[in-house]
Amino acid sequence: MDEQLIKKVLATVNAGEPYDDVAPEITAVRNWALDLCRQYNFEYNRTGKADIKMLKTLFAKTPANGFTVLPNFHVEFGRNIYLGRNFFANYDCFFMDCAPIKFGDEIKIGPKCGFYTSNHVEDAVGRRAGYVESRPITVGNNVWFGASVTVVGGVTIGDNSIIGAGSVVVDDIPANVIAAGNPARVIRPLRTDDRYRGMEGRTGDYHYGE
């Protein structure tokens, strides 16, 4: 895929204005990313091993110390996704990165989660013509998403928070809380447990597909 074309498409979709989602150049980059996802998922399911090089080609930023993306995952463009250290995405996740999706360090994402930056425009004529608008998603450090969470564009989630399974996150979530529901609301602050004091420097690394 031509890197200049990818940059041109990202400049269009990240501009904060409605854009033609069926334009040929946007379709070309989307199909490139779709093909890489298909290859990655097929080979992972066939061999049980992750092709990290393929993911580094697809994503905008990946950590140097390793990360885990289990099949079958899908993206829109790929190059709008930024991963921090020790990123873990469980099975069947979708990242609709029509605007930047930025994850901090030590992220854990349960199976069947979706991050959706894009909306079809409200105007009926524009929607029929294929116009969409997108807003970024920003996730802090050490956030855990339970299974089947949906996060929409324009949302920021603070450090250390937990998003309960099945939640739909449409508003910002502060740091150090448990949030759940549709729409997701803060349930309570995080509790601490003295059994884990002294483990602040420890990281629980998963080793799938090695």
Cβ neighbours, 10 Å, residue 81: 25
CB 99 within 8 A of CB 134: yes
> Of residues 8, 112, 120, 135, which has the active-site annotation?
120
Secondary structure of the chain in HEC code, one letter for each residue: CCHHHHHHHHHHHCCCCCEECCCHHHHHHHHHHHHHHHHHHHHHHHHCCCCHHHHHHHCCECCCCCCEECCCCEECCCCCEECCCCCEECCCCEEECCCCEEECCCCEECCCCEEECEEECCCHHHHHCCEEEECCEEECCCCEECCCCEEECCCEECCCCEECCCCEECCCECCCEEEECCCCEEEEECCCCHHHCCCCCCCCCCCCCC
Q: Any catalytic annotation for residue 207?
A: no
CB 136 within 8 A of CB 152: no
Q: Name the residues annotated as catalytic.
A: 120
